[in-house]
Amino acid sequence: MLAEAPTFGRDTFKLFDRVVESPHSICFYVDSWDEAVRQKNDYIYNGSRITDIRRTLPEMDKAKAKVQTAVNAEIKRRIEQFQGGAKLKHQSPHEWVPNASFVNCYDGGSESVGYHSDQLTYVGPRAVIGSLSLGVAREFRVRKVVARDDSSSADEKVQKSSDTARADAEGQIAIHLPHNSLLVMHAAMQEEWKHSIAPAQAIDPHPVAGNKRINITYRHYKENLHPRYTPRCKCNVPTVLRCVQRKKENRGRYMWMCHTSYSPGQEGCSFFQWAEFDDDGEPPWAKMIAKEGRDEIVSEKSCKEKTED
């Protein structure tokens, strides 16, 4: 990973009408070249396509097997010990099987990422993410998202300052992530919390990685959330899936929205649609996709039998 890190890029996107650059470098990996082609042609991130998509490295594959085992054990333990033996609403009942990963590189203490929640568009609601830290230790901070008391549309800066103050009052959690540590972001983490890697004034260099921290975030991309199935906005672009975090009256609901405006030079549209998922986190079209898959298998089997005859 250290050899690949210098070739990573930095995301550029629009934030409050300003074009900003990510304060760390990043790269996206998938498990096959066919999937890499699909990602380049079909998938949208921050209103635009990613052109640099790579095949998962052999070393990442080896680590993935261990991460998968550890994460599934933690999911089971959490359900048994902290959720009364029941999964959360919209949480998948199936084994967590990662098939894609974003790899972040923080080169030195000044490189960071601000408070944010990871995008749910392709992983769905109540997603689980396995985050593997390699190299120099950094501080991972989380804070709970506090809902607003009303839906008033006050000045954005004033409202944001008030949100931050309330979140700080709830308390922040700082987690020290040393080399070869695994952090599990459980179901509901992206809906109810925000996380960050804060700048560090001083760091202890790693004997191999030096001042670099490599962070592999393993994810499970759902086939039934492929952009060909999800709603398109008026810009004819696949929409982004978001969760209401701030407004009390709709807190926890999901919505499809246009995100073209996040791409520099694009304005976007006002498209909005509430998203619906069943208890297992599946969208309304999931059964149709499953039926199409079964029909395709039957058709292939029939053709094979005719050929053999």
Inform me whether the pLDDT recorded for 6 exceeds 90.
yes
- Per-residue CA distances from 142 to 53, 107, 185 (Å): 29, 21, 11
Sketch out the chain's domains with CATH numbers.
5-223 (2.60.120.590), 229-308 (no CATH)
pTM confidence score: 0.88
Residue 115 corresponds to which tokens in the numbers above?
């408070």
Distance between CA 90 and CA 281 in Å, rounded?
4
SS3 call for 298: helix
Confidence class of residue 294 from pLDDT cuts 50, 70 and 90? low
Contact 142, 172 (CB under 8 A): yes
- Structural tokens at position 62: 């080896």
Could you report the per-residue pLDDT of 187-224, keeping only the tens digit for each? 999 999 999 999 999 999 999 999 999 999 999 999 99
Please say if the pLDDT value at position 3 is more than 70: yes
pLDDT of residue 47: 81
Average pLDDT of the segment spanning 124-149: 94
Spatial neighbors of 142 by CB under 8 A, at least 6 apart, are: 172, 173, 175, 193, 194, 195, 196
Q: What are 24's two structure tokens?
A: 């760390």
Candidates 284, 292, 260, 257; CA nearest to 44 is 260
pLDDT of 234 over the 50 cut:
yes
Percentage of the chain with pLDDT > 90?
72
What is the band of 274 on the pLDDT scale with cuts at 50, 70, 90?
A: very high
Beta-carbon contacts of 172 under 8 Å, excluding residues fewer than 6 positions away, are: 141, 142, 143
Give the tens place of pLDDT for each residue, 119-134: 999 999 999 999 999 9
Tell me, what's the pLDDT at 298? 45
